Amino acid sequence: MRKLINILLVLTVAIMGACTNDLNQYPHVQETSRSVYADPDNYISALAKCYASYVTAGQEKGGGDADLQSNNGYDYMRCYFNMQEAGTDEIGSTWIEGDNIGDLTFLTWDANDPWVADMYYRSYYTISLCNEFLKNSTDSRIAGFTEEEQAEIRTFRAEARFLRALAYYHALDLFGDIPFADEELIGSSKLPEEWDASEIFGFIETELIDCSEKMLSSENYIYGRAPRAAAWMLLARLYLNAESYNAGDHYQECMTYSQKVIDEGYELESDYARLFNADNHKRVGIGNEIIFPLVVDSRHVVTWGATTYLVCGEVDTDYGAPADTVGCASAWSMFRIRGEVPELFDMENDDRAMFYTEGQSQYMDGGVDDRSGGYFVLKWSNLTDDGIVASNTNNDGVDTDFPMFRLADAYLMYAEAAVRSNTNVGTALQYVNELRNHRNAAEVSQNDITETVDGVPYKFFLDERARELYWEGVRRTDLIRFDAFTSDKYTWQWKGGIKDGKAVDDKYNRYPIPATELTANPNLSNEDY
């Protein structure tokens, strides 16, 4: 199955054209020839392009023949990782100026920030691809195919709706009030209207509830494609953060969909490191922990972003462990972890504490870009289960998938929602300790998961999510939910640009719509920028 899905990703090169519009234009895909969708065999390749848009930047190796002109030229997931991690306690970036990441790091960005613009346009490029697929997969459009072909394409259509909802969720979470465009806008001269965050929330919620009923079950799961549990996971995450989107309290719904995932038949992985190595595709599907991965494969999906960025970026040419420790041909020296996160661990009794500390200071007293400060992370790896290097990262990137959703997060979302709503707290504690037992971490008490610490209610979950999910692209969202991203309730070194950290303007809880987009579409605005 792994070989099949990657070959399908390659086939999209011949079928889907590239989009190279300037950033001052609303992104759209080139009009796809009706002859492409006249053949039912082409639908899987068109859908594969929607999947691939999360981890590739173009039609050729490493992003060549770019899908979309951008400031930095990197793929969706490299942009998303930086937006979610760079300004938090989980990352200290080395090449602040060279990588144009200083404003993300110190929470001082504006509407002209290159990473902000790239993430915005990457999100809408993926949305555009999905819209194009959906426009060409309506019941009337596929009526001439066989019943079997129509049934299969309807499943593809549900997956395209999920992928669009995922991109819309990221855009909602990052930008708040955003433009909305679906397949009905294709071919229209109308510019997208801006929707309030709560309206986008409602659209995503409705889409996910409906499309999940038409997606593959865990029993019928095909590697690389999203099963219905992926939609349930996204619903749970949407509901957990609903108040951040001005959509009210939805903790009961978060518990409902987290429980649906837990009941689906996935199982926690006892070897934490194997969730992030080059054989982690073996940890996908029923009886395993990973629910939905973004497929990254050095033979067919070569990118300098996604997990290649994480594996090569976590090791350093002058400090830390040798590059081949994680299966790299050479180190990129991109980032370390700020000292506050390792402080959360019992370093001797928690399998998740995957840090290289030798010769390193825990804290970044000399500055974020001083590579002698901050521990290195060894969580991501291009080694197989047998310790064999899976690919030549200099030429071909890595073979490590990105686990977008995994069961551990369902446990933590259920438990946090239960505690916040004071419902089924005993079950919440059971799930927390079941997870911690799998990570060889000590069990905690009910008081631990319900108390207020340092003025932050339920701070256990903010800390536990850092222990379990660091460098998986959720930290900024979690900090905002706990009112800890911009406030002085929790500070970390160099938050706001000073050594001891400080509170920053609340406007930084959202990124601005890029200035180029405001120029192109007068329907849009930025409230605080």
Q: Identify the residue whose tokens are 């930290």.
A: 475
Burial letters 51-76, b for 16+ CB under 10 A, else e:
bbbbbbbbbeebbeebbbbbbbbbbb
| Whether the Cβ atoms of residue 115 and residue 87 lie closer than 8 Å to each other | no
SS3 104: helix
This prediction has a pTM of 0.94
Q: How far apart are CA 499 and CA 365, in angstroms?
A: 7
CA-to-CA distance for 416 and 352, rounded, in angstroms?
20
- Which tokens hold the place of 289? 């922990």
Residue 336 DSSP label: E
User: Rounded to whole angstroms, what are the CA distances from 124 to 27, 48, 81, 245?
Assistant: 6, 17, 17, 19
Backbone angles phi, psi at 346, to 5 degrees: -85, 95
Question: How far is the C-alpha of 394 from the C-alpha of 415, rounded, in Å?
Answer: 42
| pLDDT at residue number 33 | 52
Give residue 326's Cα distance to chain centre. 22
Residues ≥6 apart with Cβ < 8 Å to 3: none
CA distance linking residue 125 with residue 131, whole number of Å:
10
For the chain, give percent helix, strand, coil, nearest 5.
Answer: 45, 10, 45
- The CA dihedral of 326, 328, 334, 335, to the nearest 10 degrees, is 0
Q: Across the chain, how many H-helices and E-strands are there?
A: 18, 10
Question: What stretches of 408-479 adopt beta strand conformation (E)?
Answer: 452-453, 456-457
- Let me know: does 281 contact 224? Beta carbons within 8 Å: no
Spatial distance between the Cα atoms of 512 and 447, rounded to a whole number of angstroms: 39
Would you say the C-alpha torsion 103, 109, 114, 117 has a positive or negative sign? positive
Q: Is 327 helix (H, G, I), strand (E, B) or coil?
A: coil
Q: How far apart are CA 333 and CA 194, in angstroms?
A: 40
Which backbone phi and psi does 29 adopt, to 5 degrees?
A: -90, 155
Neighbours of 374 (CB within 10 A): 29
Residue 321 has a CB neighbour count (10 Å cut-off) of 17
DSSP string, 371-400: TTBSBEE-----B-TTS-B-S-HHHH----
Name residue, tokens 């800390």.
463
- Tell me what pLDDT residue 62 has: 67
Kindly give, in sequence order, each residue whose CB lies less than 8 Å from that of residue 206, ignoring residues fewer than 6 positions away. none
d(CA 264, CA 14): 37
Q: Which two tokens stand for residue 45?
A: 């390749």
Q: What amino acid occupies position 508?
A: Y
Pairing outcome for strands 290-294 and 335-336: unpaired
Domains of the chain listed by start with CATH number: 1-215+484-529 (1.25.40.390), 226-295+401-450 (1.25.40.10), 300-398 (no CATH)
Alpha carbons 494 and 496: distance in angstroms, whole number: 6
Angle between the 147-175 and 228-240 helix axes, to the nearest 10 degrees?
20
Which pLDDT belongs to residue 67? 82
pLDDT tens string, the chain, 529 residues long: the values are 443 344 334 334 333 433 434 434 444 444 445 778 999 999 999 999 999 999 998 776 766 777 888 888 899 999 999 999 999 999 999 999 889 999 999 999 999 999 999 999 999 999 999 999 999 999 999 999 999 999 999 999 999 999 999 999 999 999 999 999 999 999 889 999 999 999 999 999 999 999 999 999 988 989 999 999 999 999 999 999 999 999 999 999 999 999 999 999 999 999 999 999 999 999 999 999 999 999 999 988 888 999 999 999 999 999 999 999 999 999 999 999 999 999 999 999 999 999 999 999 999 999 999 999 999 999 999 999 999 999 999 999 999 999 999 999 999 999 999 999 999 999 999 999 999 999 999 999 999 999 999 999 999 999 999 999 999 999 999 999 999 999 999 999 999 999 999 999 999 999 999 999 999 999 999 999 9
CA distance 444 to 423: 18
Closest CA to 195 of 209, 174, 181: 181
